[in-house]
Amino acid sequence: MAGLAWLYDLWLSGIDPYYLQRVRPPALWYFIACALPLVIGWIWAASWLYLRWLLALPFVALESCGPWQALRRSVSLTRGWRRSIGAAVLLLLVLIVSLPLLATLLFDRLFTPLLWWLPEHNAVLIPAMLAYLIGYVLVTLAITFIGIAANALLSACLYMQLAHREARPAPPPEGTNAGKLAWAVELSVLIFAGLQAWWILNSFEIRDNVAVIAHRGSSMVAPKTRLPH
């Protein structure tokens, strides 16, 4: 990150972002060429460590191992299985990343066009926007919960197979209230998000008197010229 910040300061800090987007000067390509090896190196190092340290958290949480001991045991047990683990992790990552994109696309295609048909009255717009935002937040929280649960389940299954030679974790004991606690937390976050969205939307003001302003548009299509006085 320090290297990327230094490269950005060196090549792009003094250039307008709109100019970078439209013209794409040589400085942009210099920055990309210098930053790309850093990004690739970071991805490789993060993947290399993640596949070796994937079981460290179960060792710390379930067997009360120290951090360094958990890391060493994880490296030892994952040896020879890292390609299979990497394929499973990559497949799960693709699913976790694609779910929010699909949810956003679904909202944009099904629900967002309906907002244009609403009358411009606060009594209608505020409840409709509030319901829209709460629904989107609820779907996002559900997707986040599914992603976290799937990643935890993958770690638990790998831990049981590699550390204890068992096919799957044992079922939770009776009387466990972890599910109720999780739903209580999710409901609390949803209520907080709903109150925050209501406060933001309620602060909007729809005015009939609109100030009309102009913009000179794209400087690439219509360059600004000086007119003689």
pLDDT in tens, 178-200: 667 777 877 887 788 777 767 77
Q: Considering only 53-67, 68-82, 128-142, 191-205, which range has the smallest mean pLDDT?
A: 191-205
- Return the pLDDT at 37: 96
- Beta-carbon contacts of 82 under 8 Å, excluding residues fewer than 6 positions away, are 51, 52
Whether the predicted pLDDT of 134 surpasses 90: no
Mean pLDDT of 163-178: 68
Per the CB < 8 A criterion, the answer to whether 50 and 57 are in contact is no
Token readout for 201 is 């939307």
Query: What's the rounded mean pLDDT across residues 134-160?
Result: 84
Per-residue tokens: 164: 């204890």
How much is the pLDDT for 126? 76
Q: Which of 167, 145, 146, 147 is nearest to 156 (CA)?
A: 167
pLDDT tens-digit readout, 209-229: 667 776 666 656 655 555 555
Candidate from 12-26, 109-123, 150-164, 213-227 with smallest mean pLDDT: 213-227
User: What 3-state class would DSSP assign to 163?
Assistant: helix
| pLDDT mean across residues, the chain | 82
pLDDT (mean) for 14-28 = 86
Locate tokens 């919960």: which residue?
145
pLDDT of res. 8: 92
